[in-house]
Amino acid sequence: MFPELRPHLEECFDLAEPGTEYVITRYRDTNANLRIQLLRIIQRAGLQPWPKLFQNLRSTRETELADDFPMHVVCQWIGNSQPELAAQEKTPVLQGSAAECDVVPVVLVPPEGLEPSTY
């Protein structure tokens, strides 16, 4: 649980009837359209809905978490995979078959540069 949520969830717990099991008691049916409900809540708050409601909420939270935690931890919490890790895991196999390269000589650029001087 993220610390920012704790006071709100504790308030809901304190206000709940004894024996209440869920914080969100409405829309528990798997056929409930949560997008429509979220649109109603946003409009009731006097705000304009943004594109891709749930995807952008999730993405914003991921960005916030990445400010304070390593990205691989954030991805695990959010449920994302990291494709770049999969690519890195394959790299050692390719390293063994890589061709040797000649050393490229370092040539310094003369002080006057490579272009002809113009005045």
pLDDT at 25: 78
Asked, for residue 91, whether it belongs to a domain, the answer is: no
The total number of structural domains in the chain stands at 2
pLDDT at 23: 80
Alpha-carbon gap, residue 22 to 62, rounded angstroms: 25
33 shares its domain with 43: yes
Asked, for residue 92, whether it belongs to a domain, the answer is: no
Q: Mind giving me the DSSP string for 13-49?
A: HHHSPTT---S--SS-STT--HHHHHHHHHHHTT-PP
pLDDT at 114: 61
Which residue positions in the chain have pLDDT lower than 70? Answer: 82-119
41 shares its domain with 14: yes
Range of the domain at 66: 50-82
Are the CB atoms for 50 and 34 separated by under 8 Å?
no
44 shares its domain with 12: yes
Asked, for residue 70, whether it belongs to a domain, the answer is: yes
Asked, for residue 99, whether it belongs to a domain, the answer is: no
pLDDT at 2: 85
pLDDT in tens, 29-39: 888 888 998 99
